[in-house]
Structure formats: structure tokens, C-alpha cells
Chains A and B, each alone.
Chain A
């Protein structure tokens, strides 16, 4: 499924999708614009998680720790530091990368269930810090932001109070984060990640340190998760301990499995399906997790490539049959 260059068809599809995404807030009601904003943020979060699961073969069950670190860093940068919007985002990315460096250093020696459990353990510790270090984090109330700094771009300035501007801002940042991840997976470093997932011993045979590469992947994934977390903080006007809860770490896992871990945009697609399902279900019942489970189980059993992964696989198989 990995083609070395972007085909014109995929480029065209991307351009149309992007145009649609840009136009959305101008014809959708505000409520749906808000939902879409949240989908974008979670899509970025899930794609950063998938750098670990889909490309490196590591199941991180504490990714919300980095997401939350990014959110709190952004909130503190604005509240205590009085920093601008861009610097708040940068603070989120930097802090999350730093947290990922420390956690990752201790986690990357193990893989499979052990890696998952260690990351889960760190995620729970970070949650407790956010919940109980009241002087810094405001405890269970979180850190509400009285106002989000305006978006400035050279001399141009606009308030993100308008959900449409917030949406466009989130779209731009998500796109940026996605491009960074794309560059990473398509670089020689990305090849190494794929090679690790396949067989870590063979990677040592070609002279690469599995631990160092995993750590680098963990830090990059953590930084992008932190970016998503900082966006989520701006979007919600607050950072709360819930962002770090292990239940929150499960979200990118579910989205990635739904959409497909083997496809770059699979987790983003999964995020969209996740929210679409949620919105469709809560019209009828509050117990939407039952519906999510009812969809997730057959996906895992019958379509292990995920929804987008299966669609793309069918398409490429069909194309090969009809020359």
C-alpha cells in the first residue's frame, strides 16, 4: 500500500477534501462547526498516537499524558506567562516533548503489553499530578481560561471567540501537524520505524539502535499529541485533569482501530466515524458506548485493517484486477 510518490489522484482528492474542510464553517450551523473542530483535534491526536502503533508497533496507553501536558502548558503559558497564542502552542509542544522524553526513556526498553502497561502507569501518575497539585493545576476544577489570546499573523489580528475562526485556526494547525507527521513517516527515519515494527533484531543487524529510534518516535508522537492537547485547551477555554485520564488515552486507540492503523489518515477517519456515531446515537439514547462497541467489535473481527484501511485495500485490489 506504500507507494513512494504521491499520485495525481491522491493529490487531487486531498485538495478537494481540504477545500471542503475550509468551506465547512461557512455553511454548517455553529454546533456542527464545534463538532468538526473537536474531530480535527482528536484526529491529530490519534494520528500522533498512530506513529507509535501503526508505524513503530508500540501500543501507548498513556498518550493522554502528553496530550494533557500540552493542554496544561498552554493554559499556564497564557494564565501565568501572559504569552501569545503561538507561544502557548509552542509551550504545549515543548512541554509534551519533554515529558515524552522522560517517560519514553524508561518505556522504550520494553514492547508489547509491557510497553502498554508502563505508559498506562505513567499516564495515571500524570493524571494524579494534574488532579492533586492544586496550586499549579487548580485540582479537579482545572484551569479555566478567561480569554484566549487573539490570533495574530504579522499585523493581522482576529479573535478566536468566533467558533468559525477557532475552527479555521484549528484546521490550519492540524494540517501543519499532519504535514510534520507525513514528513516523518516518509523519511528514511520512517522506513526505520516500519522496519522496527517488522522485526527489531534485524534492525540491529543493519546498525540501528532500536531503543534510540523508538525514543525518537515517542518524543515526536508526544510533541504532536501535546500540540493537539494545547489546541483542545484553547478550544475548551480550559485544561482539566480529564484530559489526562486513562479513559482519554483509550480514545486515540479506538479511533485508530476503527479507521485503520496501517493507513496514514486512518486514525483521522476513525475520529470522524467516532464522533459521527456519537452524534447519531445520542439523539436516540444516552448509552452511546453500547453502539460504539457494537461497531468496534465487528470491525476488529471482520475488518482488521480498519474501515479506511479496508476501503483502500479493496480499491487497490480492484484496480490491480482490471488493468
Chain B
């Protein structure tokens, strides 16, 4: 589905990603763990093309997408929910979804407005509210719903739980887990507990390099790696 081969990403002069490789297979949730500044968000942005890799390549369904503009990669089927979950605050919930809607993909059930509101009942009631008037949790739901409106084949979630109340985190987990049969998910997360609960595989990244990869159950029981790179 998604294959990242040894990407290197720079921010100006700073060398952030020093060769990151990872894969996401159909039907799985993969999490990318690491401390603040380890390079998680940069990996997401490198995949999406927002911070294009200086070396290495990103393959999506076998096609090389590194070097292509962001909008093209999104149209190709990569749904992205940015870290700061910035929705369009001047647009209503409905308009936010309308702006993001892309053609349905063959073989996948289309994300119509009705289906989105069924998945996120909370948003249905807030349909006509401005994005800027929503709470943090509601904005995160909207940001995910907006990514789904583009009928993605793969979902990239950057820190979906950041700053959310535990009860919201729980329902978010249910929603993400419910998606995976249809749409594989790659997500970054600070909240290791949350990530262990719903992921199938995990990568641990530190100082711009992948330090560990493996099934989530192994990672969850590996105290050594956790102490060294996650400090949980």
C-alpha cells in the first residue's frame, strides 16, 4: 500500500530525517511513536510531499509519489489529518466537508455526507456551525471527517489525540479502529497507551531514524525500548 524507502528530509539546514523506511499494508493500523522532535510529523509531511524528501522515495500503490505536489498526492488517495487539526474556521462543518470532497474510488464505499454524519453523529448536529466555533474534540472529529470526505485509500493521522479529553480519545479510537478494514491508517502518537490499544504494528523513531519496528504486542511488552525512546 505505502512504502517509504530511506527518506531524508531537511528543514533548511537542519537534517531531520536521516533515512526513514516503513511500510503500511492493507487492513492495518500502523503507529509511529517517538518523543517530541523525534521526526514523527516530519515523516508524515515527507510522505505527503509537504516537506519533500531530499533523498529516498515514497511509493503509494507501487507508484512513486515523492516529488509530487501535496494536492496531487491527496487526490491520489492519501487522506491527511494534520497535527494541529486545523479545519477551515470561517467555513461551516458542512462546508468544510464539501470543500474536501473528492471522487469516490472504485471498490470502496463512497463517503457521502450521510455516511460521514452516521460515523460522526456529533458533527451532524453541528452541521451549520462554523469550524472555528467547535471545541478541540469536535474539531478533531471534523478534521478526520474532512479527510474521509476525500474518499482516501490510506489515512495519515498526525497526533490525533493531542489535547483531547479521555472520553473523546476513547470514541476516536473506536472510529479509527472501525475504519481499518477499509482504509489502512498510519498515525503518529505521543500517547503510547492509546497507540498500543488500536495498532497492529509500531515503529519507534528517534533523532530522525527508525530504532525499532515490530508487532504492537511485542513493542508493548518491550520495557527497554519504551524506556529508551518513549520515556513512558
Contact = CB atoms under 8 A, between A and B. Distances in A.
B66 interface: no
Given A4-B128, A188-B99, A192-B99, A205 B88 contact: no
A195 B99 contact: yes
Interface in B81-126: 82, 86-92, 95, 98-100, 102
Given A194-B88, A194-B91, A198-B90, A207 B102 contact: yes
Interface string A280-309: 000000000000000000000000000000
Interface stretch (B4-12, B70-78, B194-202): B70-78
Interface residues of A, number: 20
Given A194-B88, A194-B91, A199-B88, A204 B146 contact: no
19 contacts: A4-B92, A188-B98, A188-B99, A192-B99, A194-B90, A194-B91, A195-B90, A199-B86, A199-B88, A202-B86, A202-B87, A203-B71, A204-B70, A204-B74, A205-B48, A205-B74, A205-B80, A206-B146, A209-B69
Contacts of A2: 90
B50 interface: yes
Nearest to A207: B74
Nearest to A208: B71
B88 A207 contact: no
Contacts of A210: 71
Contacts, number: 61
Most B-side CB within 10 Å, residue of A188, A198, A201: A198
Contact of B50 (A191, A198, A201): A201
Interface string B43-87: 000001010000000000000000001111011000010100011
A206 B87 CA distance: 10
Interface residues of B, number: 27
Contacts of A206: 74, 99-100, 146-147, 149-150
* Nearest 6 Cβ contacts at the A-B interface: A207-B74, A206-B100, A204-B70, A204-B71, A207-B75, A209-B71
A207 B50 contact: no
A280 B221 CA distance: 82
Interface string A1-14: 01010000000000
Contact of B89 (A192, A198, A203): A198
